[in-house]
Every structure is written in structure tokens, then in C-alpha cells.
Chain A
């Protein structure tokens, strides 16, 4: 049941507007400290830097995903399709060091670097305002994706950067052409995400719950998650946790801007009531109305998404769902959610104040919304039970360390490898069917066949080892999910009708979620993650639908968190020693501890802290790849905020004085481990007569490192000897063997 799990490739096309307005200086924009004098930020530079950071993410996280960069609104054209104003900067390919460097240079074209800009003007140039047709750029994108025909590519996305909210300038024909291309792209499974420069007018009109919301998406996030400051709390903003809600790596998105479900977007939803003029007009009107009613406090940099972009991404969906007479979405339960999800949304980031937001907006989309596969979920046993097909997602995944490969050192070219399994007895290759799997019990080798190893796992499962979920029953949440019983990363289940099941199944899924949420219960299910693997018990926890900070959570929307429940085998019996009465703290001491806790209060943000070890590796790789002599500098965000801690030192001291005696030294009780002793040197080894020790039977007088080093120097296999007597026996064996060999030679 369900589809096999596939890790599908991702293909992303960056489409960047090159009109001259994209190169204007952004007033009031922050510049980073390293900026050279005279340089400034432009929407174009930001766009390219977003692309650059995306390239860099992809470079280190995947060597399979494809990226391309297409500039439009250019004076020169460079494309095989002879479209005016379309410049293919990068064809689809895996990004590498060269491309990263090219982007680094390109980004300078918009930041006041005269030489680079001159070169840019010469070879690429700005198109005259609205002289170039966006539909042509879409055609180019369509052809580029088309050329990339491969079943291996599971995700196709266009990230478009522009500051123009109406690229068609009211020309209906061009608008229609764009819509036609958008539909083609959508039919081909290409999602469009628009990153616009400018204040988001629609969200400040419709979704603006943030009071003084003037910068759309950004401000919503900020105002609703203002840092909880406490008197005396560390005021340092250098630490991510301490300013986690005020920019930095925080992902902020407005409820209207971030959802990939256009039907959730109020501005569109409201237009589907079946207005005779059609959705476009209604939306545009709404946007215009918004402009009229909401005074804009920012200069000219605003962006009316309703003019063109919102309807553009909504149209293909509407065409699929709307029925023959263009009926709206309202009340249409027959919406297949995947159709909706697939179509991108207009993401309007308020770049004027927070460039970081835009970068992280893009960064967060490094990975497409990739399902780990679908499976059947059933309740209870038997034929006549409710069933659903669910998609499984893994929002939390350990980001792997970069892996090394081998190169031919003489030519620095690739290496292929061939692994063969040979029988030790005959030297002949062993066919897969002849393979056995062994374990050793008390020195006896026990053999199992491949089928038996599979059978061992399958036999215990309720549904014969077939992938899927069998709900065994329901339990109160607090009885099933406990912090101290956490054993594994969680997954997420979401139901769609795309993989089958139909409306009835979807309805059951939704109702099950509602019932369990109301009753505060979880489903306990047996989960077989792939065919022929051992079952596990999992708790299916209904997701919360209301989020205070949606982006603080890894996943939002209706579904179930898949949380594994431990078996007895996974839980160690840990019995801490009972503490004597004198180890009990007094109320005063507890109060002092609480004071410490209060002063060190921070907000948890899942996006705030990057893995320093991984970042370091990435940086070093990048440095070597780009031949950048600058020393590698990585901010270790996991380190405590020293300045902040210093500010509350008296409170900490107060606790220490109240609880711990002056003589107390934690370092004495738990000292850092001693540095490992180096193995015995060659001279030390030479001083030992192993032959003599063996004949006297006193090899045991040597320590383990000497015995190990002896075998290592002679390149003799340890043969699994771990304990000292095993090692002594092994060394004695080697000594005797060498003695025999020596004697034989002498005799000869």
C-alpha cells in the first residue's frame, strides 16, 4: 500500500528582475560592517544574495539538487529560445564553487561597485521599464524545466524576485499570456514563489493584526512576538536566544504571506464568492481599496500583491477547482489539498527593514516540502474498519556531516569502486542467495538466511509486515507521551486525497483529529515504516491548529505528530541514590534558585541556533573551494551569552553562597579527563624481549598498550581480542609462530 519512499531531486530556478529600479539604493537599509565605503544595498543585490545563500545551502547539503538562475528585464539576451530580455545566467546544474563565486561577483553589480556594474551593463544591462514581457521569461523557465525531463526530479520550483507589482502595466494581453504560462508551469508541477521587494499592502490591510503594521509580513511577526523582557534580564543582543524574536535568524512570516495555500489567504478567499466580474477584479479592487484606506508610512517602496501576483498563483488552482462556471472555493469540500499546496504563494518580505528575513525566508525553503512516502492508516483489525491514506513527513531530520569521496591523486579525477563478496573457503564470489547472516553466541556461530532475518521482523507485526499504521486504541495524552520516555525523532502525518482514500477517508482523518484534540487523547498505533521491517509502537498526537508563533514550530496545519513510544527494552532502569536529609534545600535556597531562573529567562526558537561544528565544516569547505585565504570564523551560537551572564553575576553569586560551601569545587569532583597517553614508542618496544617473556609465561606483566602495540607493529590481526587474557593469548600465539618460522629458517 502506498508509494515507495523516494528521495526525489529538487530543481529550483531563480528568476531575478533586472530592471533599473531593482538597482536603486535602498534608503534606510542596514549595511553589514564589512561593506566598503560607497557601497549600498539594492533590491537586486538582495535578490542575488538570497540566491547565493541558497546556492551555498544546496552546495553543502546536497550534491544532487539542481539550481539555475535566469535574469529577466535585461537589455541583452542570452538564451537559446531567442526571447528578448531574458538572460540565462546559470543553466540547470548542481551548484559548485565556480557558480558561488560568479554570484558573489554578480551581487556587487547592484551595490555600487562601479567596475562590476560597468561590466554588467555591457554584457547584461537593464531592460527599459516594461519593455520586456514577463511571459517570455515564463516561457524560458518552462522550456528549461522541460529540458530537464527526468523522473528523478520530484520538485520543481521557481523563486521570483521583483519589485514590480504589476509587470503587465495593465496590458490585458500580456496578463493573459502570463496566466497561460503560469497554468502550463503549474500543470508541469512547477510551483512559483515570489519574493517581492516592498511593503506588502494586502497583508497590512487584511491580515494586519499588528497595530502599527506598516511593513507587512515582517512587522506582524515582530510585534506579535515581542521579546519578554524582565527587569535585569541580560540585555545583550549578541546572543541569538536573547534576541530570538527581534530578527536574526528568526523566521517571520505573516499569516497571509507564508501559507502555501492560497485558499487560506483572506484576500483570495474573499474573492471567490462568485462575483460576476471574476476573482481578478475583486482582488484588485480589494487591494486598491486597501491602498486607499491604509496610509503607507514608507516611501514609494510598496507592493500591491493583489494587482497581479496573488491572482496569478491562484488562477491555476481556481481553474482546477472552480467548476465550469467559475464557481468559487467557498464551501467546496472537493478541494484536493495537494492541488492547493502545489501552487506557490506570493511571499512578500518586507525587505526595507529586514533583509535577514528575506534570506531566511529563502533559506527555509531550501528543502522542498518533501514527503517520506505514503502509507495506509487503519483503525483496529478486520476488513470493515475505517481506513485512510496518509503522507508521512520528517520535519526534524539530523543534518548529516559532509561525506568524503575518493579521488585519483595523480589526476584529481573521480574514482569508481567495486565491492565483491568472496568466500574465504573457495575464493569464489558469493551470490546474494548464498549469503548468510551470522551472530555469535558463546563462541558458536549461528547462521540465518536473508529470508529468515526478514521473517524475524515481520512475524510480530499485526498486519504481516506491510507498511502502514494500525491504530490499536486511544489513550489520554499525558499517559502516553512523557518527556522521559522520548526515544526517537518524530514525524508528521498529513492526509490528502491525492494518493487515494477519497473524501470519506479525508473526512474521517479530519474528524479523528478533532475528536482526539477535544478529548485530549492520542492514538496508539503499530507502525511499520517500510515493508519487511520490525513494527514499532507510536503515539499519534493531534497537531495544534492555533499557533502563537507558527514559525517557531517545525510544522503547522492539521495532522498528527508521530511520536515513538519506547518498549521496555529501550528504557534503562536508572535508580538514583536517595539523598540524605542534609541534601534537601531550604525554601530560601529554592527562592534564590528561582531568582536565577527568572533572570536567565529566554525564548525558545527552533531556528535560532545553528550547529557550530557543521557550520565550521561548511565554512572550511567553502574556503578551500573558493580558495579564500581569510581565516575561518564561525560564531558558536551554542555558547552561553557571557556578557549577559556577567550582568547578573550578583544573583548567581547569591545562589552559590547560599547553597555551596566555599570549599566546593565541581571541577575536583568531575575533573576533565587526562589526555590519552601516546602508544609506547619504538625504543620502548625494542627494550622488551617478548620471546623471553612468553617462554617464562610472564606476558601478563605487560600492560595492554604494549601488547596492542606489539601486534600493531608486526601488522598482526588482533582477532577480536579485547580482554587482557585474550590479548596475552593472541600475543603468545604470534610469538610462538615467529619463533617457529625463525627456527625453520635457521635449519634451512
Chain B
């Protein structure tokens, strides 16, 4: 078994028949197949190399002809094999048919010239090789005996042959004979065709021996694109009289044979395709071709058990290629300058700059030695840590991207060990946790390997798991209290049933990334426009600029994965059926537009006291809001009785009636300081006319008064409650002095100052309190006050109570969604 991976590059020779035997419309078709082929290569496999050979031309220009001047005439290597560029496309577009009478096109010679051109470019190097023959193969082959030479050379060189047949016989038109060609083994086919060939081929000349050697050494594949070829199934070998067949029919048969013979070997894909099919196949949606190649070859070790494995990429997120920034003319230069933060005029070149890492607020300068120390030392490996039940690995923990872990090619023992493991894991429903190091000194990753047993191949699928640092634990409510009525639940059931797709709808393997495919389409479109106008290009600048409109979405994309609501979409029938269910659900579960909701309720989102202080709906509405906030809130209701109940057993929540009583200011009924009549209620509480509470009565009154003042200030619309607040503050001060509660008042002043600072009510402190002469209670008034005298009181009032807050810049728009990928 060969351990050689598939080469990543391909060398392709396109043979375009220009001998003039094709009708003009067929020739246009043949040309478009060629240019489509070039486009595909440009977009999906830009590393592949292409060449173009005009067969049946009036001129001759090829290497074979140089060595044998009497042969290989009428072949022009219009473009030797090389990277695909615009000129190749222009050559195809500019191809013209010759006069059929004056030219000749020997397909066998064409195949030889093409193979030689491939050999010239690739030699013995690692390439995939392919010949596309686009022809109607009308003309007679002179040296039919060279077929075997051609065959062996193509086989040796591994050249695939794709014949794109122009006007080949339609398979369905011919009544099948006794024998079905398709059912014959390639050996049988070979035998039959060889019989044909041998019966008719005249004796060859010696010139082919040289090429025989070539063909043996090279491995070239041949693609015949048959124009109007006969259906091979209808050809009854043996029963046919070769001589009676036209030269075209003979040619077709030979090509069929050649292709089937080439494909019979190791993985070749030579084939004959009708020209219209070729065009369709070339314009279908396709993905970029990536050679199957191991991304890592390492040893899987489970303790002392060691198995050699190869890892291949199974899934990898394909992104739209990032486009390079440039300018319309002449390109773009990026200039990055560094300046000292301390001295913004001082430019710093690389010699004075040092690298540093952040450690929170601190910045640590780093030397190269330190930097080298940061690197992790590791060896390429995959080590098993243990086996866990598959059910313990949730899909939503995977970090994205899957690799297939397969045995090394040709390693039968390793394959057997891996198979035993995979089957064992599958039977026990276990996954293997591994530590994987991709290459020397790469950071280790934590991963999981899932068994994937299948007849004749048992492999593991590897996925990366998060480390502890990568996980954020989020907890949400389960909404177990959300009750849904039976008819509402039924409507959702009906909707889900109506919109349930079968397994094959939107299958990953058949659903293409619409944006990526459209990007390819745009690139192709712009490229072709460039190519079309290249002829009128005068000064080297592209005529087509960014002003050219983008193409319309391709129909294939509209069917496949773009704009699912369009009538061409595969899902549209389902939506028509589900429309009623959708409408019912929409009615049963009404949606309130967030913008409307925001309009009704004022600013949406979270609100902070400092942001909202005094900001309410303007005008009358504000009054209403203020009024409502003046009423006891449910919080007060919850708070007050609860606080008092343990001590006094009065557990009645504050009701609306109580509130009304408070507002009335009935002294005997007063239980709390109210926002509607704070002074009255406060004085009533502190004057001792009420006997509802015991010893902490004054404490309670003072606390409630301070809360009321803070509340009033915050809920004041503009200055509307300031006057009331002033009265309250004065009353509070009087009581505090009387009750010798200096501490209480002074602390309240600080809280008031801090709470309004920076809000809309900042002025309340500076203009109402400070300038009105509100000062803390000093030792002159109450003995145990912390504030010594009037001077200290002044200092107290004017002290800055806000530490310097760290500078918090505006948000950086971290791309949290980008991190999803």
C-alpha cells in the first residue's frame, strides 16, 4: 500500500479542437466549457497549472514536432502549462476554427503532444496530471498502433483523460445490443476493444518506441470531453464491423476504451462526458478543493500502548477570504508610528521600544529571554487520559473543528489495534479524553475522541474540549412557573409538526455557504469583466473598477441556501403549508415590539438612581409619576411591618388606608414618616404624642426621615421638592440637636452629599444645603459630636468625599460573536 499522499498541485492540458469540423454553435459551447474550466481552477484551485493546445490548427508549434518534423503537425501549444492567468482565458476566448478542408486533427497525436507538454512542465515531480480533450473526433487517426503506447504512457504518468465529446452519439438513441458494455469488466472491455484495434491497425513504425519509454515513466491522466460521442452501452463489441464504422465512430470507441482502461487502475478518474453535461457540471456549486492530507502524524499512547495514527481535518470553518486593504491606484502603504505617552511629540523607533506585558494595572517590561521563557515546551503526541461515558460529553462543550484519527497508511497492525479500541469504545459507549500536542512546542490541548466504527475502516473523531479557563458558568431560571394553556401548547405543537423537515433537507454535504459561494461568484464576475475589457486596456490600470455593480444571486444559490423565503427555495412548499400555524401562534402569543414598549415606558433598559434622578416624562406625566412615587412603595410595605413585627407583633402590612391616614396627618394614627406630610408625621413621632412604638421611636423617626428626604430629593422633578426637602432637613436638625443625635444628622449630611453628587440634583447640595447654611451639628450644640467647632463644620461641608475614580474609557467593542467561531 502506498503511503504517498495525493499531490496538492495539478497540471492540466486542455486540447481544444479547432479543426473546423464542429458546427459554429457547438464550437462556442466547446469554448465555454474550456473557459469555465479555467474559471473553476482560478477560484477553487489557484495553485493548479493549466496549458492550452489548439489541435487542427493551420500552424504548427510544439516540441514533438521539433524532434520529428514530419509528424505532429497542426498542433499549436498556445499556452504552455503554467500558473493560470488572464492570458489563458484570452487565448480561449480568441480561438477561431480553421477551414475544415485544409486542416487535420489526429487525436492520437493530440494526446501525445499534450502528454509531452505535461511532461515538459512536471517531469518527475509530484503533480496530479490531467488532459482534457474537447473534440468531436471526426478525423481519421493515422497511426492507430500508437494507442498502446499512449495508454501505457498515460498510465505510467498517472495522467487522467477527460474527453468532452462534441456531438457524440446520444446514448439513449441507440437500441442496446446483446451485450451491455457497462457491465463488462474493464479487462473484458479492454479485450474487446483490443480485438477491434488489432484487427484494423496496420503495422506501426518504430518511432513509437521512444514514447513508449516516456509513457512508462510518466503518469498522465486523460480527460476526453466528447462532442457527439456514441453511447458506449450501445456498442456491441465483436458484432461490429470496425471497417464499416466511420472514422468518428472509431475514434469514439477508442477514446472510451482509453478512458476506461486508465480508470481501471489506481484511483484514476478518466471519463468521457457529453459537452452539455460538462458545462452543467462546471457551473454547479462546488467547494474549494483541498487535498486529503494528514495534518499531524503522531503516536497515540494509552499508557504503554502505542499506536501510530494520522490526523486529517474533517471539519473546518471556511470563511470568506479576508480582502487586502488597498487604494484605487498604486496600492496602499501602512505607516505606524509610536510616540511616548509622556511626550506625545517624541517619536519612538524600534530601538527604544520594549515589549511589556500587563499584569492588571502594572506593566512588566519583558526581555527576549523572558519572552522565550513564556514558550511552552512539548513534544508532538496524543496521550489518553481516560475513558468517559459518551453521554458526559455535551455537544455544546466542543470548541469547534473535528479531526479524523486514522491508522497510518499501510500499518496493518496499528490499524488492527485502533479497530479493536474503536469497536470496544463503541460497544461500551465510551469516549477517550486525550491531551494532544499538534507539533513540537505547541501548546497542549484537551480533546475527546469519539469512536466511529464502520465496515473496513474504524476511526476516531477528535474534537477539542474547553479548559477550565474557557468556561463561564451561567445559570438561568427554568421558568417552571410559566403556565401555558392547552390550546396554546397545541398551537406550538402544530407549528413544529408543520415545519418539520426530513433528514435530507438542508443536509450539510449539499448545503453550500451562500456568502462564500456568492463571493466566488462576485470574484469570477469581476475577473471576467476585467478579461473582457482587457483588450481596451490602455495604460495598465484596470478599466473595471469598484464601480461595477455586483452580479445578481445565482439561481443555484437561491435554490440551495440563500434567501430561504424566495419561491425557488427548497423550503418554500413547507412554508406555504405552515402559514396558518404561524399566524395562529402569532395571535396566541402576541409580541410587543421593544421600541413601542420603550416608547410607552420611557427609557428602556437598566436605570440607575444617579441616571434617573429627577428625569421623568416631562409635563403632566411627570407630576403623576412624582405623585405615585410619593406613595408608599410595595417595598415600604414589605419592609416596615416586617421590621417592627418581631418586636411588637404588629404584622399588618401598610395598606392604602394607612397611607391615607398618614396623609391626613392624624397624630394618633401616625405610624411612619410619610413623603406626603413628612414634617407633620415626623414631628408627631418625635413629639411623643404617639405611643405606637417603644424605646426606638426616635431612632425610627430619624431613620425614616432621612430616607424620606433622600427619596424626595431623588424623585424631585427639577427643583419641585427642594423646598419641602429643606424644611425636612431643618426639622431633622432641630430634632437631632434636641435628642442629642449629632452623629445621626452629620452622617445623614454626608450620605446626602454623596448620594446627589454628580446627579441632576447635585445643585441641591451646593445651592440649597450649603449656601442656605446647613451645617453639621458641632460640639457647641451637642456634647458628643465629632465636629469640634464652626471651622470644622465648614471643613466638614466642603470636604471632598469622592475619591479619585479610575478613568473608565468608553467600551471597547469586543467581538463576542467572533469568539463563537
Contacts and interface: CB of A to CB of B under 8 A. Distances in A.
A313 interface: no
B326 A570 contact: no
A704 B72 CA distance: 38
Chain B interface size, as a band, is: 35 or more
7 contacts: A7-B816, A319-B639, A369-B472, A408-B342, A473-B574, A574-B314, A666-B301
A146 B757 contact: yes
A173 B582 contact: no
B184 interface: no
Contact of A653 (B298, B304, B473, B585): B304
B360 A406 contact: no
B337 A418 contact: yes
Contacts of A61: 469
B325 A80 contact: no
A93 B321 contact: no
| Interface majority SS (helix, strand, loop, mixed), chain B | mixed
A6 B402 contact: no
A487 B493 CA distance: 30
Interface in B291-345: 292, 297-310, 312-318, 320-321, 323-342, 344
B406 interface: yes
Nearest to A82: B750
Nearest to B545: A447
Chain A interface residue number, banded: 35 or more
Contact of B333 (A189, A422, A530, A641): A422
Interface centre among A506, A567, A614 (most CB of B within 10 A): A567
A577 B336 CA distance: 51
B499 interface: yes
A122 interface: no
A325 B637 contact: yes
Given A456-B519, A594-B424, A670-B299, 20 more contacts: A7-B813, A61-B469, A189-B608, A264-B477, A323-B634, A324-B637, A380-B499, A396-B397, A399-B470, A408-B340, A423-B330, A438-B324, A441-B523, A473-B505, A508-B492, A555-B473, A578-B457, A603-B392, A653-B304, A669-B408
Given A486-B402, A488-B400, A537-B511, A530 B496 contact: no
B651 A421 contact: no
Contacts of A263: 477, 481
A179 B423 contact: no
A403 B814 CA distance: 14
Contacts of A224: none
Contacts of B803: 80, 88, 91, 144, 147
Given A8-B811, A189-B608, A424-B332, A406 B355 contact: yes
Contacts of A430: 327, 332
A423 B415 CA distance: 58
Contact of B292 (A367, A441, A565, A572): A572
A235 interface: no
A553 interface: yes
B565 interface: yes
A716 interface: no
Contacts, number: 927
A323 B334 CA distance: 62
Interface in A512-543: 512, 514-516, 519, 521, 524, 526, 529-530, 534-535, 537, 541
Interface stretch (B57-65, B203-211, B225-233, B366-374): B366-374
Interface stretch (B237-245, B642-650, B726-734): B642-650
Contacts of B339: 415-418
Contact of B594 (A150, A501, A519): A501
A438 B473 contact: no
B651 A602 contact: no
A714 interface: no
Contact of B320 (A456, A507, A638): A456
B353 A460 contact: no
Contact of B496 (A319, A462, A519): A519
Contact of A570 (B316, B459, B546): B316
Q: Among the interface residues A144, A331, A508, A667, which one has the most CB atoms of the partner chain B within 10 A?
A: A508
A486 B516 contact: no
Given A81-B751, A447-B326, A535-B514, A369 B474 contact: yes
Contact of B409 (A9, A554, A577): A577
Interface stretch (A22-30, A123-131, A294-302, A335-343): A335-343
A488 B818 CA distance: 10
B802 to A, nearest CB: 5
B586 interface: yes
| Residue of B373, B386, B813 with most chain A CB atoms under a 10 A cut-off | B386
Contact of B513 (A387, A553, A570): A570
A473 B499 contact: yes
A234 B429 CA distance: 20
B647 to A, nearest CB: 5
Contact of A511 (B351, B492, B637, B806): B492
Given A173-B696, A452-B546, A613 B443 contact: yes
B750 A486 contact: no
Nearest to B589: A508
Given A446-B530, A600-B302, A386 B591 contact: yes
Contacts of B516: 534, 567, 569
Contacts of A81: 747, 750-751, 754, 801
Given A402-B358, A473-B571, A380 B427 contact: no
Q: Give the one of A80, A421, A659 with max B CB within 10 A.
A: A659
Contacts of B578: 380
B364 interface: yes
Interface in A575-615: 575-580, 582-585, 589-594, 596-598, 600-604, 606-614
Contact of B423 (A91, A136, A590): A590
A484 B530 contact: no
B396 A554 contact: yes
A96 B361 contact: yes
A656 B512 contact: no
A60 interface: yes
Query: For the complex, would chain A's binding face be called helix, strand, loop or mixed by DSSP majority?
Result: mixed
B753 to A, nearest CB: 9
B348 A415 contact: yes
Contacts of A624: 359, 364, 366, 370
Interface in A1-27: 1-9
A80 B338 CA distance: 40
Interface string A611-622: 111101100111
Contacts of B758: 146-147, 149
Contacts of A99: 360-361
Interface string A307-343: 0000100011011101111100001110101001100
Given A434-B328, A516-B496, A441 B43 contact: yes
A621 B344 contact: no
A339 B331 CA distance: 54
Contact of A395 (B338, B411, B474): B474
A591 B356 CA distance: 56
Interface string B806-821: 1011111111110111
A117 interface: no
A568 B332 contact: no
B305 A319 contact: no
Interface in A117-169: 136, 139, 142-144, 146-153
B755 interface: yes
Nearest to A6: B811
Contacts of B363: 405, 407, 412, 414
B641 A278 contact: yes
Given A381-B565, A393-B474, A434-B327, A502 B597 contact: yes
B763 interface: no
Contacts of B421: 593, 596-597
Interface stretch (B131-139, B270-278, B444-452): B444-452
Interface in A233-267: 239, 241-242, 249, 251, 258-261, 263-264
Interface stretch (B143-151, B157-165, B376-384): B376-384
